[in-house]
Amino acid sequence: MDRDALRGRTLVEESREAVIVLDDADVVVLASRRARQSIEGIDEGGRVPNGLLSGDLGIVPLIVPYEVGGRRERIVYLSQVGDMAAYEELRTGFTAAVSHELRTPLARLLSLLEMATLPGEDIHALVERARNEVESASELIDEVLFLSELESGGRVVSLGPVAVRPELDAAVAELEERASRAGVHLSVEGDAATELEMRPRMLRVIAQNLAENAIRYAGPGASFTLAVERNGRNVVLRGTDDGVGVNDEELSRLFERFYRADHARASRGTGLGLAIVKHIVGQAGGIVEASGGKGAGLEIRCVF
């Protein structure tokens, strides 16, 4: 086999997509490992399964004809309906949202800098506001990086059981000062022996996000409790506050990326925190639920 042919064969075989090469008699000349594993009836040297090229098997073929050495062949990309398309859509939407979110603090930063060149402005106050904008941009970047780490298979699950309570205690201890400035009381409940198969860092991220939200949104005078408990065969990790809560419509959207309820728009935050929580919990085999109501506080439950 010459170099080009070998290169072509390797490219197809090792492709991460389901892709096949057909000759003009619809015989499979080459198939990627992914195609052989994920689509029934694909064998090199055999005919392409009936209905595959017409899209009747729930797979959308993208067919690219070409000619080599006078022979007509086709390379066929086989993605599951919704599979790649939905993924691509999500990606594009996500990138657009990140760029948009990043633009806001940058635009504000620029106008602060312009104000600083004007006579009579309070430079100290402007610098303080500028610092805030930079912090919120870098929070966004941290969150996006963390999400992409999770998506590219960053490990959530631990090798063995991990005690939950110490991570909750640590997260709360770190936020105590901010909580008291916001007038929110934090507490932790739960048996020190309750365990989950999750890396301590991931437990900490969940705890931090729930506690931070209570500090930011529940309102002065509210109390927030982080608790871990056994419920039959499940372990439940929950964050409950008795603050302002959200209305029913908002409740169902809290876990969406970039979603922020109306009352939160004025405060800092990007709307990724609960999306991250949901992602972590999902990867560890659990589910998330939100309950509560306007004026009735908010409870986020992670059930494993």
Ligand X SMILES: Nc1ncnc2c1ncn2[C@@H]1O[C@H](COP(=O)(O)OP(=O)(O)OP(=O)(O)O)[C@@H](O)[C@H]1O
Task: Give the residues lining the site for ligand X (CB under 6 A).
Answer: 143, 209, 213-214, 217-218, 241, 243-246, 254, 259-261, 264, 269-275, 298
Which residue lies nearer to Mg ion by CB, 94 or 259? 259
User: Among Mg ion, ligand X, none, what binds residue 271 when CB lies within 5 to 8 Å by partner kind?
Assistant: ligand X
Q: Is the dihedral of CA 240, 242, 245, 248 positive or negative?
A: positive
Mind giving me the DSSP string for 244-274?
Answer: S---HHHHTTTTSTT---GGGTTSS--S-HH
The binder of 32, among Mg ion, ligand X, none, by C-beta within 5 to 8 A per type, is: none
The smaller minimum CB distance to Mg ion, of residues 48 and 140, is found at 140
CB of 238 to ligand X, least distance (A): 12
Query: Checking DSSP bridges between strand 185-190 and strand 223-231, what pairing results, if any?
Result: parallel
CB of 209 to Mg ion, least distance (A): 5
Q: What's the gap between Cα 124 and its chain centre?
A: 37
Q: Which residues make Cβ contacts (< 8 Å) with residue 47, sequence separation at least 6?
A: 25, 26, 27, 28
CB 163 → ligand X: shortest distance, Å?
25
Tokens of 5: 């042919």
**Contact criterion met (CB below 8 Å) for 231 and 301:** no
> Taking CB under 5 A as the rule, which mask of x and - marks residues 245-284 in contact with Mg ion?
----------------------------x-----------
Q: Based on CB atoms, which residue is closest to ligand X, 57 or 156?
A: 156
Of Mg ion, ligand X, none, which one sits near residue 60, judging by CB under 5 to 8 A according to partner kind? Answer: none
Q: What are phi and psi of 184, to 5 degrees?
A: -110, 135
Nearer to ligand X, 114 or 142 (CB): 142
DSSP 3-state assignment of 221?
coil
243 lines the binding site for Mg ion (CB under 5 A): no
Rank residues 74 and 301 by Cβ distance to Mg ion and give the closer one: 301
**Sequence-distant (≥ 6) Cβ neighbours of residue 238 within 8 angstroms:** 226, 227, 228, 229, 299, 300, 301, 302
Asked if 292 touches Mg ion (CB under 5 A), the answer is no
Q: Which is nearer to Mg ion, 243 or 273 (CB)?
A: 273
30 backbone dihedrals φ, ψ, rounded to 5°: -150, 150
Which residue of this chain has its Cβ atom nearest to Mg ion in the complex? 273
Q: Residue 168: in which H helix or E strand, if any?
A: helix 165-182
Q: What does 241 bind: Mg ion, ligand X, none (CB cut-off 5 to 8 Å by kind)? A: ligand X
213: contact with Mg ion by CB under 5 A? yes
Angle (CA) 147-150-154 rounded to 5° is: 145
| Closest-approach residue to ligand X (CB) | 273
Q: Quick one: 50 or 187, whose CB is closer to ligand X?
A: 187
Number of residues this chain uses to bind Mg ion (CB under 5 A) = 2
Name which of Mg ion, ligand X, none residue 218 binds, using a CB cut-off of 5 to 8 Å depending on partner kind. ligand X
In the complex with ligand X, the residue whose CB is nearer, 47 or 294, is 294
Cα–Cα dist 21/276, whole Å: 40
Shortest Cβ 172–Mg ion spacing (Å):
15
**Residue matched to tokens 């499979």:** 28
Measured CA to CA, the distance from residue 173 to residue 154 in angstroms comes to 26
- 32 belongs to the binding site for Mg ion (CB under 5 A): no
Binding interface with Mg ion (CB under 5 A): 213, 273
